[in-house]
Amino acid sequence: MAKKETVIEIEGKTLKLSNLDKVLYPAVGFTKGQVIDYFVRIAPILLPHLKDRPLTLKRYPEGVDGMFFYEKNCPKHRPEWVKTAPIYSHGRKDYIQFCLAQDLPTLVWAANLADLELHTSLSYAAKIERPTMMVFDLDPGPPADIVLCCQVAFWLKDIFDRFKLQSFAKTSGSKGLQIYVPLNTPVAYDETKSFSHALARLLEQEHPDLVVSDMKKALRVGKVFVDWSQNDEHKTTINVYSLRAKERPTVSTPVSWDEVEKCRKKKDVNLLVFDSKQVLARVEKMGDIFSPVLTLEQRLPNVRELGTEAEAKPRSRRSASASRESKSKTGQLGRENSGKTNRAAPRSVKPRAAGVG
C-alpha cells in the first residue's frame, strides 16, 4: 500500500509525515497522528529532559502488538538538521552516532518513525562518563505490584532524607516505580553504581521477604527488585514523559510523594497509572514537578556511610508497620497464586567523544 504523506513545516524546518491515521495502539485506536500530537503538546516540558542526552530509539513500525527494535545509531536517512553525538563503544570498538532530541522538529521526526519510547542516558553526551543523577528502578515480581513499590520507595526516601538528599519519583509507565536522586555535581558511574548497589543490598537485608537486589527473575516472585544496575555509562532509562508501548498510551509520569503515599495507603494500583491525555492535563495544572532533577546540585555520600547510617538510625514507625502490612499482604497473595558486588569494576580508559555533530 502506498504511503499517505503530509508535508509540514515546524520552526522553519520541513518534515514529511506518513500514515498519520495508522493505528499504533489497537486496543484503544490510538493513531500515529495522535502520538505525534502528544509529543508536540508535551514538548515544552519534555525537551529540557532530552536535550544533549544520547537518545536510543525504540521503534514500533507496526504498532505495539507488532515487532519492535532498538536503534542506537541515528538513522542515516535523518534530515541534515538532526543533531548527533559520537559516543565510543568498547563492544563495537567504534563510535556510535546517537541522535540528540534538541528541538521540536527532531521530536516530531522521531515520532513519525514510530519511536514510541524515548530511552536516554543518565549523562550528557559531552561528558558521557559523568552521570547527572542516580536512579533506582523498582520492578515488582507478581503477585507484588506498584503498591509494594511505593513502600520500598519510602524506605529509599527515608535513607536519602537522612543524608539530606532530595529524591523524586516517577512511574515507569509500565508496572513499576522509579526513584531519581539528582546530583549535577562531579561524580563517576563507579561511585553511583557502587552506592546504589550497596543501598539495594541494604534494603534486601532489612526486608528479605519483600526486597531483592539480584536481577534473577526466579528470585523476584512476590518481591520488588531494586534495580541499581541502570547506573551505568552504557545503559539507558525510559525518559520522563515518554510514551510506553503498552495496551494503551501510558506515560512515564512524575508523581509527588503525597501521591505515592496515597497509593500505598489505599492499595490501589490505578492511582499511579496515567495515559497521554491525563499527563497533558496534569502538566497544565501542576507544571513540571520533575524539573529539579535537571538543576538541583547534591553530592553523593561515600558508600561507607550507608552502614553507619543504618546502624545509627532506627526505622520510622511508618516504615516498620508498613513492612509488616506489606509482608502480610504479599504472603497472602503468594498463597492465593501458588498451586552484584558492592564496588563496580574500574572503568577502562576510552577515547572521548569528538563532540556534538
Distances (CA, A) of 205 to 147, 202, 214, 231: 20, 5, 12, 21
Residue 325 pLDDT more than 60? no
- Matching residue, cell 569528538: 354
Q: What is the pLDDT of residues 79-109, one digit of tens each?
A: 999 999 999 998 889 999 999 999 999 999 9
What is the radius of gyration, based on Cα positions, of the chain? 21
**Residue 188 vs residues 85, 133, 192, 194: alpha-carbon distances, Å:** 20, 10, 7, 10
Are 63 and 89 found together in one domain? yes
284 lies in the same domain as 193? yes
303: domain range?
133-336
Determine, yes or no, domain membership for 127. Answer: no
Contact 191, 100 (CB under 8 A): no
Lowest mean pLDDT among 25-39, 85-99, 149-163, 329-343: 329-343
**162 plus 65 within the same structural domain:** no
How is residue 61 written as a grid cell? 513500525
Cα 102 to Cα 317: distance, rounded to the nearest angstrom? 46
Q: What is the CATH number of the domain that holds 80?
A: 3.90.920.10
Per-residue pLDDT of 269-310, as tens digits, reads 999 999 999 999 999 999 999 999 999 999 999 999 887 554
Q: What average pLDDT does this structure show over 143-153?
A: 97
- Label the pairing between strands 168-171 and 254-255: antiparallel
> How many domains are contained in the chain?
2
List the CATH number of the domain containing 232.
3.30.70.3300
Whether residue 278 is contained in a domain is answered as yes
This prediction has a pTM of 0.86
Give the chain's mean pLDDT: 89
**Cross-strand pairs, 225:** 139, 212
